[in-house]
Amino acid sequence: MGRIFNLILLAAMIVGAAVTYDMKHKAELAADRVATLQSAIAKEKNDIVLLKAEWSMLTQPARLQATVEKYADHFQLQPFSPDQIATVDEIPLKPDTIDDKTAERLARIAAEAPMQIR
């Protein structure tokens, strides 16, 4: 009887060790994934800072003015007058109708798309 009990305890200990190792391995993989994501986030933040600095430099009024003056014959820009600015009421609305070809295409896409219920 004691020998069977010892074998059961040994098997439980082996299973426990295997489960612990598996949990440790999964935790290490998750930690590696977190480190990779944190590195990617830091890189993206650095890229954003760089792009903001570049945008700031590119949109400086003095630089834009110099560019316009340098390429005045190419751009052929003229100062705009206040009557060129439209109000919201002056912008035409999008038509409500859809042509038959577009309606058929949308119906085909809707029929082929799988239903996603959330």
What is the pTM assigned to this prediction? 0.51
Kindly indicate the confidence band of residue 49, based on its pLDDT and cuts at 50, 70 and 90: very high
76: region left, alpha or beta (phi > 0 left; psi from -120 to 50 alpha) = left
**C-alpha torsion 14→16→19→23, nearest 10:** -130
Identify whether the C-beta of residue 63 lies closer than 8 Å to the C-beta of residue 57: yes
pLDDT band at 17 (very low <50, low <70, confident <90, very high): very high
CB burial of 58-82 (b: ≥16 within 10 Å; e: otherwise) equals: eeeeeeeeeeeeeeeeeeeeeeeee
- Predicted confidence (pLDDT) per residue in 51-104, tens digit: 999 999 999 999 988 988 888 888 888 888 888 888 888 888 877 778 888 888
Q: Is the pLDDT of residue 108 over 90?
A: no
d(CA 63, CA 13): 73
